[in-house]
Structure 1
Amino acid sequence: MTTQTVAAKPAPAAPARPAQTPGDRRDKVVDLVRLWAIRIAIVVVFCSAWQFSSGRIFPVFIVSSPTLVVERFGDFMQGGELFSHLGYTMRACGMGFAIGALIGSTLGLLFGIYESISRVISPFAAMLYSTPKIMLSPLIVVWVGVDLTMKVFVATFACMWVIFYNVWNATRRIDRNLLDQMRLMGANQRQIIVGLYLPSALTWLLTSLRVAFPVALIGAVVGEFVASSQGLGYLALDSGQRYDSAGVLVAVLTITVTAMTIDSILAAIQRKVALWQGEGVRG
Structure 2
Amino acid sequence: MAIDLSTRAPRTVPSGYRAGHLARGPRSWSARELLVLSWLAPLLFALAWEAVCRFGGMNEQVMPAPSAVLATAWTLVKDGSLFVHLGYSLLRAATGFLIGGGIGFGLGLIVGFSRLAEALLDRSIQMIRAIPFLALLPLVIVWFGVDEAGKIFLVSLGVLFPIYINTVLGIRQVDPKLLEVAKVTGLSLRGRITKIILPGAMPSILTGVRYALAVAWLALVIAETIATTKGIGFLAMDAREFLQTNVIVLTIVIYAAIGVIADGIARALERRLLAWHPNYAREERR
User: What TM-score, normalized to structure 2?
Assistant: 0.81
Corresponding residue of 1:48: 51
Evaluate the alpha carbon distance shift between residue 253 and residue 131 of structure 1 in structure 2; reply closer, same or farther with a 3 A threshold.
same
Q: Deviations over 1:160-215 (max 9, x none)?
A: 10110011111112222332343444444333322222111211111111111111
Corresponding residue of 2:222: 222
Corresponding residue of 2:261: 261
Evaluate the alpha carbon distance shift between residue 225 and residue 198 of structure 1 in structure 2; reply closer, same or farther with a 3 A threshold.
same
- Find the aligned partners of 1:112 and 1:27 in 2 and give their Cα distance: 39
Identity of aligned residues (%): 25
SS in 1 for 2:280: coil
Q: Deviations over 1:41-82 (max 9, x none)?
A: 3431222113334xx34x322222333212211211111011
- Find the aligned partners of 2:69 and 2:107 in 1 and give their Cα distance: 44
SS in 1 for 2:230: coil
Evaluate the alpha carbon distance shift between residue 29 and residue 279 of structure 1 in structure 2; reply closer, same or farther with a 3 A threshold.
closer
SS in 2 for 1:226: coil
For 1:103, the aligned partner's letter is I
Alignment of 1:135 onto 2:130 = no
Task: Verify the 8 A CA contact 2:133 2:222 in the aligned structure 1.
Answer: no
Evaluate the alpha carbon distance shift between residue 272 and residue 82 of structure 1 in structure 2; reply closer, same or farther with a 3 A threshold.
same
Evaluate the alpha carbon distance shift between residue 142 and residue 73 of structure 1 in structure 2; reply closer, same or farther with a 3 A threshold.
same
- Find the aligned partners of 1:162 and 1:201 in 2 and give their Cα distance: 14
Corresponding residue of 2:249: 249
Corresponding residue of 1:81: 81
Task: Verify the 8 A CA contact 2:49 2:66 in the aligned structure 1.
Answer: no
Instruction: Please identify, of 156-165 and 32-41, the stretch whose mean Cα deviation from structure 2 is larger.
Output: 32-41
Which residues of 2 match residues 202-221 of structure 1 at below 5 A? 202-221=202-221
Structure 1: which 5+ residue stretches go unaligned? 1-17
Task: Verify the 8 A CA contact 1:221 1:231 in the aligned structure 2.
Answer: no
Evaluate the alpha carbon distance shift between residue 35 and residue 175 of structure 1 in structure 2; reply closer, same or farther with a 3 A threshold.
closer
Number of corresponding residues: 261
Which residues of 2 match residues 149-160 of structure 1 at below 5 A? 149-160=149-160
For 2:62, the aligned partner's letter is I
Task: Verify the 8 A CA contact 1:134 1:219 in the aligned structure 2.
Answer: no
Structure 2: which 5+ residue stretches go unaligned? 1-19
- Find the aligned partners of 2:157 and 2:107 in 1 and give their Cα distance: 13
Corresponding residue of 2:231: 231
- Find the aligned partners of 2:146 and 2:157 in 1 and give their Cα distance: 16
- Find the aligned partners of 1:90 and 1:228 in 2 and give their Cα distance: 15
Alignment of 1:176 onto 2:179 = no
For 1:49, the aligned partner's letter is V
Give the aligned CA root-mean-square deviation in angstroms. Answer: 2.8
Structure 1 outlier segments of 4+, above 6 Å: 25-32
Q: Deviations over 1:236-271 (max 9, x none)?
A: 000011100011111111111111111111112212
For 1:246, the aligned partner's letter is N
